[in-house]
Amino acid sequence: MSNPGIIFDESLLADVNFQENDINTIVDECDRCTKIGFLPEVEASYLGLLIHVMDLTSLNSTDNKKTIEALVDKALTYAKKNLKSDIEDMGSKHTCPIYNYLSTSTLIPPTICVSSIRVPDAVQRIKHQGVHIDIASVAAGFPLGQVPLSCRITEVEYAISHGAAEIDIVIDRGMVLNGDYKILYNDIRAIKCVCANGKVTLKTILSVTELGSYQTIYKAAMTAMMAGSDFIKTSTGKEATNATLSHGVVMCQAIKKFHEKTGFQVGIKPAGGIKFNEQALSWLVLVKNELGNDWLRASHFRIGASSLLEDVVKRLSVVLKKFR
């Protein structure tokens, strides 16, 4: 269900306090689970889930029609092609309890994420392939977010009109650092209205490593959710430093508080620098531990990445061979 947002409530930004030790304890538990490892059937299920929550992304200055076509093809065929023999062999022996899950699933990421100008290229390629996959478009002055609101809205409208089913906007970090949360709320709310009219999912990128403190991250996250963001996202992938699990803890705490206050279930999307299955599994464990199993689905958990798919598929192939 889409998050309709609520009237701006400054009280939700008050009395925010995070203890570094408490955050580190949560992060250490996530890392411990990943480092110790999982039972093969659990790891296979988790790796399969990672494919099903992945926004396969290309946001390069060199992107063109050919690179986007290759991205679509990769999303639609890479996992199936590279895991076909492993899954068939596992199924022939009927020894693995997750066989039905892996064999009946398409092993296709739910979404590809591209720049607004590349949305038509993605739409055309998807139609040519005849298989459905959603298109997410970064917009609203990505990656800086420092353009007039009217221009941000125009870009969002462009992406939606050309076929984007999801919009990943980026906030103006200077606005947050200046404490202008009500202005930020109004800006996101204006974009939410455009997305709501088109029944489009709205993800809001916080660029957490540029916000200075856990308290500021929490306030920005809460403001974005009050304005109607369906997801809060860590990063653009263009920051000097990528988001960490510690930032994720703060975002999860904000999501949990917003859910308690409103009943609306907002999603989380880590992105930027997530290249290896171990990193992604740690984020999955964090979401599971902090928010619960209800968040472990593409409607509430995504991972934005450009090269993670290869590593997840490689590791999943290794795990599946254990069932032979």
Running along the chain, 324 residues long, what does each successive block of 10 average in pLDDT? 93 91 95 89 92 97 98 94 83 58 74 98 93 94 96 98 98 97 98 94 98 96 98 96 96 97 97 96 96 96 97 94 80
Return the amino acid letter for 9: D
Question: What pLDDT is attached to residue 25?
Answer: 96
What pTM was computed for the model? 0.95
CB 317 within 8 A of CB 87: no
The domains of the chain, with CATH numbers, are 10-321 (3.20.20.70)
**Tokens describing residue 44:** 């296979």
**Among candidate residues 321, 323, 313, the one with its CA nearest the CA of residue 48:** 313
**Tokens describing residue 235:** 């990063």
Q: How many whole angstroms separate alpha carbon 231 and alpha carbon 136?
A: 12
Question: What pLDDT is attached to residue 105?
Answer: 59
Q: How many whole angstroms separate alpha carbon 60 and alpha carbon 48?
A: 27
Q: How many whole angstroms separate alpha carbon 318 and alpha carbon 324?
A: 11
Question: What pLDDT is attached to residue 99?
Answer: 61
CB 98 within 8 A of CB 44: yes
Residues forming the active site: 168, 233, 269
For tokens 């997410």, name the residue: 136
Buried b (16+ CB within 10 A) or exposed e, 30-48: bbebbeeebebeebbbbbb
Is 146 strand, coil or helix?
Answer: coil
**Tokens describing residue 105:** 């699933």
